[in-house]
Structure 1
Amino acid sequence: MIISESMFTVRGVTYRIRSAALADAKQLSALRLKIDGETEYLDREPGEAFIDEKGFEALIQEDSKECRHLFLVADIEGDIVGFSRCEGHSLKRSAHKVTFGVAVQKAAWGYHIGKELLAASIDWADQQGIQKMSLQVMETNQKAIRLYEHYGFEIEGLLKKDKRLADGMYYDTVVMGRQRPVS
């Protein structure tokens, strides 16, 4: 699905949240690889499950036409610094929900980009009548957990010792969900 773009200025940095376009595919491939190497909050090690330009083009095309999918990017003067996706489900028993994921490069942290990607996704989901948004977040990412809670997500469970990080220790994944408010 395609949404209208929005502009934000935080501490002198202006960025835009908009739907992903085919022309973004090359930047998205490089950005995803970069972000995977900047933090252990995501599922992948750098280079794992690599998505090339053609792969991102396919994702963008699918997400643009599917009413239960949303692919957003954040850019600063044309340079993509973050992205988020909501992926809907085709099975009838799961058609009421989407799964949300977000990634922002470290140099762009602190400008509320993840927050605005989340807020835009929630607005879109509510407008589409989507009943539930779900996500998974590492237990070590307390800032993200607090943000999700602020936007109405609740902890639904833990995947115990779900991820092994560089320190050799195992960490839990927190499963969170947000129910659409009753109008």
Structure 2
Amino acid sequence: MMGNNAEYYVENLRYVIRSAMEKDAKRLSEVRLQIDGETENLDRERGEAYIDEQGFIQLIKEDIEHIHNLFLVAEVDGMVVGFSRCEGNKLKRTSHKVEFGVCVLKDFWGYGIGQNLLKESIKWADLNDIKKIYLNVLETNVKAIKLYEKYGFEVEGVIKKDKLLSDGNYYNTVIMGRFNLHEGEL
């Protein structure tokens, strides 16, 4: 859970990044559905693996209770326009890492919202002694790959022919990770 709200002002757009709350659940369901139809960079097509308001309420509750989970939203004029999650688990052998995912409505691309959700997630992970953040990104999403590299993520591997897109072609998924190891832990 993030402590304070972070406020940003980019290209005449003011937005806040804050922890998700139950009151956001209905809007999160709508935003996720819309985003899934706006880009092929995500795993789902519009309507697939749909999460309704109650589903988001449950996710938010779980994330608040689990110290290795973080659910952030980006809000413009009181309206959620994007979100990110870091999801860990309780297994001792893998409790040092979290998986990161992010999505932003297409109308709000170019304002650094995804980048700032990532920065806030990294800050949270470092403060909470999370050793590794990992993610999956479509090989054609070069802009995202460069952003992740800028923040210390490295390519760990490639899953070949992992996604079948609307053009009928298969594309690779790049697995990236960022390590936060202190001296002596290498």
Relative to the length of structure 2, the TM-score reads 0.97
Give 1:95's aligned residue: 95
Give 1:23's aligned residue: 23
Structure 1 residue ranges (4+ consecutive) displaced by more than 6 angstroms after TM superposition: none
Give 1:156's aligned residue: 156
Give 2:169's aligned residue: 169
Unmatched tracts of structure 1, length 5 or more: none
Provide the identity percentage: 58
Q: For residues 76 and 121 of structure 1, what CA distance do their matches in structure 2 show?
A: 19
Q: For residues 116 and 139 of structure 1, what CA distance do their matches in structure 2 show?
A: 22
Relative to the length of structure 1, the TM-score reads 0.98
2:84–2:101 Cα contact (<8 Å) kept: yes
Q: Deviations over 1:14-54 (max 9, x none)?
A: 00000000000000000000000000000001000000000
Q: For residues 8 and 93 of structure 1, what CA distance do their matches in structure 2 show?
A: 37
SS of the aligned residue for 2:171 comes to strand
Q: Considering only aligned residues, what root-mean-square deviation do their CA atoms show, in Å?
A: 0.8
Mapping of residues 102-113 of structure 1, within 5 Å: 102-113=102-113
SS of the aligned residue for 1:122 comes to helix
Give 1:121's aligned residue: 121
Does residue 145 of structure 1 match 2:145?
Answer: yes
Does residue 39 of structure 1 match 2:39?
Answer: yes
* Paired letter, 1:68: H
2:19–2:71 Cα contact (<8 Å) kept: yes
> What is the aligned residue count?
183
1:2–1:64 Cα contact (<8 Å) kept: no
Unmatched tracts of structure 2, length 5 or more: none
2:2–2:124 Cα contact (<8 Å) kept: no
Q: For residues 150 and 138 of structure 1, what CA distance do their matches in structure 2 show?
A: 17
Q: For residues 93 and 55 of structure 1, what CA distance do their matches in structure 2 show?
A: 28
1:3, CA displacement in angstroms? Answer: 2.6
